[in-house]
């Protein structure tokens, strides 16, 4: 390389990039059409005038962008384009939310670029969100009930970053608490002990070994679960046999402590009842004329009432 060419190369490099000790570290302007992925200039404000957040800020949705894009110059709070956007951009704070927007960085050889036509659509900017609405009513207090809240994008001609709706489980502590209790029954046939109804297996086939059975029949037959503490009971689910004998439980009564709360009122193998009571025991009492009492599982969705 002769001296004239070397001087020319150095002039071009210094015109469009940063040169430190013969090492090119990035452009200070965006070449037409390259999206600014090599831009390493110091613009740190969005087109809408918002100050950029630092890339290593812990508020960026919990993501470490410098770790995710280690070779893309994510220093300080400078506008960058590590992910193929149309141009350099940055995050900025919008109240308690996080938004992002494009930056107005210099275009290399701007004089050679054609002037934008007035007929071209405006370049897209990112809008920002309203505050979230109040949470909706829960679909159920327990048993996986959820609630949602929404927010709206304030400038409808632009998009917002993120989701317009959030969903959460209403009461994460509310779950099947039957295992906290101790199960008994008036009598036991063929080793089909009372604890089988709170073993976590609702399979209704007797041969699977997870179903209770009393020796007694009719009004003499009962099954009970007692808790060592007060329990808030939201929903009680009773599973019966699926292989036969569903009529044996028809119209059996379900008590919380001494109060009758519902009946197993149909010939079926699944009953679900919302009860919303605090108590220490659940008793299933069979009806006169019915056969042995067999229960596949009892689930109690609730929580400790402390």
Tell which one of 77, 210, 213, 286 touches Ca ion (CB under 5 A): 210
Q: Does 243 bind Ca ion (CB under 5 A)?
A: no
SS3 285: strand
Indicate whether 297 belongs to the interface with Ca ion (CB under 5 A). yes
Q: Give 94 or 297: the residue with its C-beta nearer to Ca ion.
A: 297
Specify the stretch interacting with Ca ion by CB under 5 A; choose among 59-67, 252-260, 273-281, 295-303: 295-303
Q: Residue 199 interacts with Ca ion (CB under 5 A)?
A: yes
Residue 208 CB, shortest distance to Ca ion, in Å, is: 8
**Minimum distance from CB of 207 to Ca ion (Å)?**
13
CB of 241 to Ca ion, least distance (A): 11
Is 210:196 a contact under the CB 8 Å cutoff?
Answer: yes
> Which distant-in-sequence residues (6+ apart) come within 8 Å of 166 by Cβ?
132, 148, 149, 150
DSSP state of 9: H
Nearer to Ca ion, 196 or 250 (CB): 196
To Ca ion, the closest distance from the beta carbon of 196 in angstroms equals 5
Q: Please state the three-class secondary structure of 182-204 as a single string.
A: EEEECCCCCCCCHHHHHCCCCCC
The one segment of 61-69, 175-183, 251-259, 291-299 that binds Ca ion by CB under 5 A: 291-299
Q: How far is the CB of 198 from Ca ion (least distance, A)?
A: 7
Tell me how far, at minimum, the Cβ of 298 lies from Ca ion, in Å.
8
In DSSP notation, 212-248 reads: ---SSBGGG-EEEEEEEEEEEEEEEEEE--SSS-GGG
In the complex, what is the shortest distance from the CB of residue 249 to Ca ion, in angstroms, rounded to a whole number?
14
Number of chain positions touching Ca ion (CB under 5 A): 5
> Of the ranges 122-130, 169-177, 204-212, 273-281, which one interacts with Ca ion (CB under 5 A)?
204-212
Contacts of 111 (CB under 8 A, 6+ apart): none
**199/210 Cα distance (integer angstroms):** 7
Residue 94 makes contact with Ca ion by CB under 5 A: no
The DSSP bridge pattern shows strands 126-127 and 175-176 to be unpaired
Residue of this chain nearest to Ca ion (CB atom): 210
Q: Is 201 in the site for Ca ion (CB under 5 A)?
A: yes
Give me 219's structure tokens: 């009004």
d(CA 43, CA 30): 12
Question: What is the distance between the alpha carbons of residues 19 and 27, in angstroms, rounded to a whole number?
Answer: 9
Residues that bind Ca ion (CB under 5 A): 196, 199, 201, 210, 297
């Amino acid at each position: 390389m002769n001296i004239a060419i070397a001087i020319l190369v150095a002039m071009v490099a210094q015109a469009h990039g940063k040169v430190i000790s013969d090492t090119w570290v990035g452009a200070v302007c965006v070449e037409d059409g390259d999206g600014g992925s090599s831009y390493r200039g110091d613009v740190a404000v969005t087109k809408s005038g918002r100050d950029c957040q630092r890339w290593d800020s812990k508020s960026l949705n919990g993501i470490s962008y410098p770790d995710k894009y280690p070779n893309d110059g994510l220093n300080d709070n400078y506008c960058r384009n590590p992910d193929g956007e149309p141009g350099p951009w940055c995050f900025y704070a919008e109240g308690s939310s996080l938004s992002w927007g494009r930056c107005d960085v210099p275009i290399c050889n701007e004089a050679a670029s054609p002037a934008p036509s007035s007929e071209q659509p405006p370049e897209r900017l990112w809008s920002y969100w309203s505050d979230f609405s109040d949470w909706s009513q829960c679909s159920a207090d327990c048993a996986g009930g959820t609630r949602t809240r929404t927010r709206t994008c304030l400038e409808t001609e632009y998009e917002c970053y993120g989701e317009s709706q959030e969903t959460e489980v209403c009461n994460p502590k509310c779950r099947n608490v039957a295992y906290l209790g101790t199960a008994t029954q008036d009598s036991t046939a063929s080793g089909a002990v009372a604890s089988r109804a709170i073993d976590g297996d609702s399979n209704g086939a007797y041969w699977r070994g997870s179903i209770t059975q009393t020796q007694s029949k009719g009004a003499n037959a009962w099954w009970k679960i007692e808790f060592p503490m007060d329990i808030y009971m939201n929903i009680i689910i009773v599973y019966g046999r699926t292989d036969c004998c569903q009529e044996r439980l028809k119209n059996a009564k379900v008590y919380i402590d001494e109060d009758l709360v519902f009946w197993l009122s149909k010939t079926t193998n699944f009953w679900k009842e919302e009860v919303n009571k605090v108590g220490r025991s659940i008793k299933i009492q069979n009806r006169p004329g019915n056969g042995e009492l067999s229960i596949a599982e009892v689930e109690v969705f609730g929580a400790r009432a402390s």
